[in-house]
Amino acid sequence: MIFLLDTFQVPGIRQKLRSKGIGISDSGIDFQGVFQQVYSLLEKLGLVKLRAASPIPIALTFSKIDEVIRHSLMEDDISEFSIRKNSQYLETGIYSPSELQEINHDMRSLLTLWGEEGFISDVEKKFSNTAYFGVSALGATPVGGKITEVKPHRVLDPLIWILDKIDFALPKKK
């Protein structure tokens, strides 16, 4: 399951954007509440059990990562931070499990820096097979309400990870 979450709904990100004078509209959507609602629905449908971690692979995918990078909201000084680079899969057509493990680790670390340890803990109690991703559908900010350039960033990562978890035959780097 790919679970798409709006990075701008993470309270730590909202605060950082506001402190930089960047106004973002308040949708009133609580990303943790949305996760809970979907989980409750899955439970109601019998797809997950309340007291057991589900083995269903779940890719927690945070959108608008390009804005996080552009506004220096990562709190890191590492220019080689994995989320900054696009997927090797796009260039080579070869899936690298270690690359996506690094992305997962880095995105999980970012969530911790943004104060979302409780969310991570809750997710990992409910699902035993999780990974965290940061993506951008556009890769650039619309200017004057118009999209001037489309450069998707890491959008295939969650799908490739899920395909690997369900043993879909991908060309894989060893």
Please give the chain's pLDDT, 174 residues, in tens.
Answer: 999 988 888 888 888 888 878 777 666 678 888 888 989 999 999 888 878 899 999 999 998 888 887 777 666 555 556 777 778 887 888 888 888 899 999 889 889 888 899 999 999 999 999 999 999 887 777 777 777 777 788 888 999 999 989 888 777 776
Q: What is the pLDDT of residue 60?
A: 95
* Beta carbons of 107 and 157 less than 8 angstroms apart: no
Name the percent of the chain in helix, strand, coil, to the closest 5. 45, 15, 45
Strand partners, 136: 153
- The predicted pLDDT at position 161 comes to 93
φ/ψ (deg, to 5) at 58: -125, 125
pLDDT at residue 80 in the model: 58
What is the reported pLDDT for 22? 77
- pLDDT score of 96: 86
What is the reported pLDDT for 50?
Answer: 78
Q: Which amino acid, one-letter code, is at 53?
A: A
Which pLDDT does position 68 carry in this prediction?
A: 80
List all residues 6 or more positions away from 11 whose beta carbon is below 8 Å from its beta carbon.
Answer: 114, 115
Q: 3-class SS at 43?
A: helix
Q: How far apart are CA 46 and CA 72, in angstroms?
A: 42
Phi-psi region of 145 (alpha: psi -120 to 50; beta: other; left: phi over 0): left
Count of residues for the chain?
174
Half-sphere exposure of 118 (CA within 13 A, CB side): 8
